[in-house]
Amino acid sequence: MKKKEVPQDKSNLESANFRELCYAVDENGEYTTENSTGWEPKTVALKNAIEEINERTQNAKTRVIAGKTSPIEYYMELHKMDVGILASYVGFWQWKVKRHFKPSVFKKLSNKTLSKYAEVFDISIQELQNISK
């Protein structure tokens, strides 16, 4: 796109006084950079993604409170992770992390295992074990 065509739509960036760096073609046909305040389709997509993440996080919290899953799943969603990412951070196989989602298994986890999760989520073991409503 040409330098003068770089979108300057309203976005979350604009309210925080940030600009996104974009590549554009200048008057001489050379690639250059140009700041953009945002692009409406990108803003809508980002807003939808954030809403979906928030919904998944709230659903996980509701499931924890109902005793259907462990707090590990909630904190995983809260930190925008998936099972694969979390497994790599804690050093367990994915199937093992999924197993730790079971409340009956979670209750039996050792402090050593709980501390791995707590460290990844940057919380204490007590916070990991007790989610407030």
CB 106 within 8 A of CB 89: no
In the block, which residue shows the tokens 């008057």? 27
User: Are 47 and 106 members of one domain?
Assistant: yes
User: Are 117 and 67 members of one domain?
Assistant: yes
User: Are 92 and 28 members of one domain?
Assistant: no
- Other C-beta atoms closer than 10 Å to the C-beta of 91 total 9
Residue 12: pLDDT band with limits 50, 70, 90: low
- Other C-beta atoms closer than 10 Å to the C-beta of 117 total 24
User: Are 49 and 33 members of one domain?
Assistant: no
Indicate the SS3 state at residue 24. strand
Which range of residues forms the domain containing residue 28? 3-38
- Give how many domains the chain has, as a whole number: 2
User: Are 104 and 89 members of one domain?
Assistant: yes
Burial of 110 by CB count in 10 Å (0-12 exposed, 13-18 middle, 19+ buried)? exposed
Top pLDDT among 72 and 131 is at 72
Total residues belonging to the chain: 133
User: Are 52 and 116 members of one domain?
Assistant: yes
**Whether the predicted pLDDT of 99 surpasses 90:** yes
Mean pLDDT within 119-128: 96
Count of alpha carbons within 13 Å of 125, Cβ hemisphere only? 10
User: Are 86 and 56 members of one domain?
Assistant: yes
The domain that contains 54 carries what CATH number?
1.10.260
